Structure 1
Amino acid sequence: MHAESETAPAPMGRRERKKAATRQAIADAALRLFLERGYDEVSLREIADAADVSTTTLFKHFSGKEALVFDRQDEMRIHLLDAVRERPEGRTIPAALCEHALRYRLRGPHDEPGGAAFVALVNSTPALVAYQQAAWMDYTADLAAAIAEESGLDADDPACTALAHFALETPHAFRGHPDGAEAVRRAFELLENGWQGTAKA
């Protein structure tokens, strides 16, 4: 159940540190402007100017405007796969994915500085909502592979793909629900038990 520890990555060299710092400066400038003025009111040129880089440099680090908001996708992917691979003994995969959804998808980074404002920005911008969900769904194959590995099933087992797909789709399905957390829990009960364990008739 627990993944074997991996060798610690080698320290970044000066060039890599500089690239990482530039990327972070661009992302920070973009988020600051988006929060101050609104996502649709800020241009890429203004972001580049605020970060003191050219637009060419900006596009070397980010594929587009939406990606500037979600600059931690690699980190989110790691959290998602770790939810399956490093879950506590006795916790089922659906239960682990439900906990992950409630923590990282439904609430968002409220416990971080500026987290509530970030979540409000995303939720009030349809383009960002759509981009965020598409990014999560891109993890379906990776999540299915992790589920298969942890379950002793074939990598292409349809059940693993189905569980991965519905686990990633569920939080999005209940955006705006009066009790989103309870709705997500109910949905994961279905994934855990199947319809026969959920339906009364």
Structure 2
Amino acid sequence: MPEAIRQSDDTPAPVGRRERKKAATRQAIADAALRLFLERGYDDVGIREIADAADVSTTTLFKHFPVKEALVFDQESDLESGLLAAVRERAPGRSIPDALREHALRHRRAGAGSDPRFTAFLELVNSTPALRDYHQAMWLRHTAALAQVITEESGRPAGDPACTALAHFALEAPHAARAHDDPQEVITRAFDLLDSGWRNLTRDGNDRTGPV
């Protein structure tokens, strides 16, 4: 993912020299891979070329990225952490859908127009079947993780399909908005619907935190 749109919601804790070196190596590999993919296309770039461009061995590359597709989505764990934190650390009285809306809009503002490679990055993913499939698999994983946190924060029963549905549509809204002229408006209105439905659902008293 382009460096300018790599975002973190939390200030990272200080890390040691070894960890910084590992992070720098990982970043160098991901940057080299994305540059080559954008220049020549995903399928026309080999792992050896990426390793050479990053000045590492293929063994080192695979220690950081077990499969080629992961090179494109190098920040997914950080993005998921930020997503879950948006729910866990929301202000008192703020609903879960409203917190997720603000998170989605913040990332939309951070990405839109901040890096000239952002559009090219999206086109790369959308035009490459292997990347689309890999992204979909990650999408499902994020849904499960987010649904679990929603369940915990709302106090609803384990496995409640409403929590899974909210997680799914909260993640889908920014993706669906890409095709519209005003993505921010689409995201806002989508979360209006989610917030209204969630508040109606949670009036039954099953939530430990009141309005969620």
Q: What TM-score does the superposition give when structure 1 sets the normalisation length?
A: 0.77
Indicate the RMSD between aligned Cα atoms, in angstroms: 2.7
Residue of structure 2 aligned with 1:109, choices 108, 111, 115: 111
Structure 1: distance between partners of 2:178 and 2:14: 40
- For residue 125 of structure 1, what is the aligned residue in structure 2? 125
Residue 79 of structure 2 aligns to a residue in which SS? helix
Shift of 1:40: 4.2
Shift of 1:163: 0.7
- Contact 1:102 1:184 survives alignment (8 Å): yes
- Contact 1:108 1:119 survives alignment (8 Å): no
**Cα distance 1:173–1:162, how it changes in 2: closer, same or farther (>3 A)?**
same
**Cα distance 1:67–1:108, how it changes in 2: closer, same or farther (>3 A)?**
farther
**Cα distance 1:182–1:11, how it changes in 2: closer, same or farther (>3 A)?**
closer
Structure 1: distance between partners of 2:135 and 2:91: 28
- Answer with 80-89 or 174-183: which moved more: 174-183
Structure 2: distance between partners of 1:176 and 1:11: 40
- For residue 204 of structure 2, what is the aligned residue in structure 1? none
- For residue 179 of structure 2, what is the aligned residue in structure 1? 176
- Answer with 72-81 or 47-56: which moved more: 47-56
- Contact 2:42 2:124 survives alignment (8 Å): no
- 1:192 equivalenced with 2:189 (yes/no): no
- Answer with 132-141 or 158-167: which moved more: 132-141
- 1:21 equivalenced with 2:24 (yes/no): yes
**Cα distance 1:96–1:130, how it changes in 2: closer, same or farther (>3 A)?**
farther
Q: What TM-score does the superposition give when structure 2 sets the normalisation length?
A: 0.73
- 1:158 equivalenced with 2:154 (yes/no): no
- Contact 2:38 2:120 survives alignment (8 Å): no
Ranges of 4+ aligned residues in structure 1 off by more than 6 Å:
none
**Cα distance 1:120–1:102, how it changes in 2: closer, same or farther (>3 A)?**
farther
Structure 2, unmatched stretches of 5+, are 1-11, 201-212
Query: Any residues of structure 2 matched to 1:46-85 within 5 Å, and which?
Result: 46-85=49-88
Shift of 1:75: 1.0
Point out which structure has higher relative CO (alpha carbons under 8 A, 6+ apart).
2
Equivalenced residue count is: 185
- 1:87 equivalenced with 2:90 (yes/no): yes
- Contact 1:35 1:118 survives alignment (8 Å): no
Structure 1: distance between partners of 2:24 and 2:120: 26
Give the percent of matched residue pairs that are identical in Structure 1 and Structure 2: 62
Structure 1, unmatched stretches of 5+, are 1-7
- For residue 4 of structure 1, what is the aligned residue in structure 2? none
Structure 1: distance between partners of 2:187 and 2:112: 18
Structure 1: distance between partners of 2:143 and 2:125: 24
**Cα distance 1:161–1:125, how it changes in 2: closer, same or farther (>3 A)?**
closer
Shift of 1:55: 2.1
Residue 111 of structure 2 aligns to a residue in which SS? coil
Shift of 1:108: 5.4
Structure 2: distance between partners of 1:101 and 1:33: 29
- Contact 1:137 1:168 survives alignment (8 Å): no
- Contact 1:122 1:129 survives alignment (8 Å): no
